[in-house]
Amino acid sequence: MTAAHPQTGVFAQRLLDFLDIVEYRRADAQEDREPIYRLRYDAYKRDKNISSGFTASAGDYFDESANCHVFGLYIAGELVSSIRVNICSRENAISPTMSIFPDLLEQKLEQGSVFVDPSRFVISSEATSLHPELIYATLRLVPMAAYYHKGDYCLATVRPEHNAFYNKVFMAEKMSEPRLYPSLSKPVNMLGGRLDKLKKKVLAKYPIMDAHYIEQRMLFNPGHWPALPARHTSLPESMPAHFQTQITAPESIGLQ
């Protein structure tokens, strides 16, 4: 069990303890991605959110981009969730959100901003009910990517009914009206926030979102080991003494 911190609240500690049973794995090879593609398809089909072009056997254009990181999370060797993260910059502006909202992002990119763009966030139907902590453990990869790649903004392109969750956990603010995304049948809107304004506040409420640089490098630098047990290595000394509020996440919180 992860060692308790004297200033960590009950729910926050529960999330940290959950990392002891989770393993993060990069999925760079096709054989590693095939189960993830199936998991994605099953999740979106269950959510009745599939239109043409979404298959169980392959990814899409954004999976193949050089700025893309695909991860699976495993418990006892079983794939239980996955998320994709594209690092969108002036040098490589390929990302799902950029394809839907170029008019809202291009100017910031030209000014040198870096966007961390997560998508294809899915959890297996069995794990959803067994491990509600998995939502936070999976989304932890988003701020981790932002820290490592020195991102300026974290984006969340989600259905409007999920805005409240991302606003509560990440303090993400609405940046657009809903638009349709290719291969999906339900419209999404874009939320986001500047990392320098949000980092301390988010970590104070959710220390699970913190990560040591070594862990960041091992997960986001392909030259390092592709599998790593999840762990939290350090907590800010300014952690509030009391945090017991639990956020009830919607059944389906998948990013587009």
Closest CA to 63 of 46, 40, 80, 89: 40
Quick check: pTM over 0.95?
no
Cα angle: 236, vertex 20, 226; to 5 degrees: 95
- Domains annotated for the chain, with CATH where assigned, are 10-229 (3.40.630.30)
Residues 6+ apart with CB under 8 A from 43: 122, 123, 124, 125, 252, 254
The Cα 145–Cα 141 span in angstroms is: 6
Instruction: State the helix-helix crossing angle for 141-148 and 213-220, rounded to 10 degrees.
Output: 100
DSSP conformation letters of 189-240:
EEEEEEHHHHHHHHHHH-GGG---HHHHHHHH-TTS-SEEE-------TT--
Residue type, position 207, single letter: P
Tens-digit pLDDT string for the chain (256 aa): 444 444 458 888 999 999 999 999 999 999 999 999 999 988 888 878 777 667 766 778 889 999 999 999 999 999 999 999 999 999 999 999 999 999 999 999 999 999 999 999 999 988 888 899 999 999 999 999 999 999 999 999 999 999 999 999 999 999 999 998 887 888 999 999 888 888 888 888 898 998 888 888 888 886 654 444 444 333 333 323 322 233 334 444 556 6
